[in-house]
Amino acid sequence: MSETTDPRPAGQPDEPTVAEPEVRVDAHGAQLAAEPSAPPAEEMSRRAAFGAAGVAGACLLGGASVYPVVRYLTSAAETAAAESAETEVTIEGALEMAPNTAKMFKFGGRPGILIRQPDGSFVALSAVCTHLNCTVGFEPDKERIYCTCHGGVYDPATGKNVSGPPPAPLTRYNVVVTDQEVTVSRV
């Protein structure tokens, strides 16, 4: 037997072996290209980009369709808060009104109507029809409050519903007349 010599000096530990990368060959022995490695995290595939754009578009469309509903609901809450916050309003120029005339005013977030009766007294009513919340108007020649939406008629002295579809009278407000101003307040 022949003796083989170890090129390493005596007492040296064995070096760790490094695994060679696996090389793939086809049936004819030709070397095949290495499989592509996963793309780096910074790169995005076309499919992923379109997916992200689709999600962003869906979020935008969802937000655009939810916004009007939220705005509608919050505006109703804001109107209710404004109405309850304001309990009294002074009507400018009311003392100069001629008999059998009317003046519209804002009471909170809703319209009101101040009517100077033929005898010179004042009546203040809500100007919101009790049928479908349309704004009513005073017709002095016909001596009535009329809703043009559906033909509702109210008595200008009391606010009582006279004819048409309104189910209830107009809300009546208190009127206080002094030498200098006319003030309307909730009952």
Residues 1-38 have pLDDT tens digits of: 555 565 656 656 566 555 566 667 777 777 766 655 55
The pLDDT, as a whole number, for residue 28 is 73
Mean pLDDT over residues 57-74, rounded?
Answer: 83
Considering only residues 104 and 73, tell me which one the structure prediction assigns the higher pLDDT.
104
The pLDDT, as a whole number, for residue 25 is 72
DSSP E strands: which ranges in 61-169?
Answer: 88-91, 101-107, 110-116, 122-126, 137-139, 144-147, 152-154, 161-163
How does residue 67 score in pLDDT terms, banded at 50, 70 and 90? confident
The CATH code of the domain at 88-185 is 2.102.10.10
Q: Where are the alpha helices (DSSP H) in 8-163?
A: 46-85
The pLDDT, as a whole number, for residue 175 is 96
pLDDT at 134 over 90: yes
The pLDDT, as a whole number, for residue 21 is 60
The per-residue pLDDT for range 137-178, each reduced to its tens digit, is: 999 999 999 999 999 999 999 999 999 999 999 999 999 999
Q: What is the pTM of this model?
A: 0.58
CA 76 – CA 82 distance, rounded (Å): 10
pLDDT at 70 over 70: yes
Angle at 35 between CA 30 and CA 41, to 5 degrees: 160
Q: How many CB atoms lie within 10 A of CB 166?
A: 22
Q: Are 115 and 104 in contact (CB under 8 A)?
A: no
The pLDDT, as a whole number, for residue 168 is 95
Phi, psi for residue 62 in degrees, rounded to 5: -65, -45
The per-residue pLDDT for range 39-56, each reduced to its tens digit, is: 555 567 888 888 889 999
The pLDDT, as a whole number, for residue 86 is 76
pLDDT at 118 over 60: yes
The pLDDT, as a whole number, for residue 154 is 97
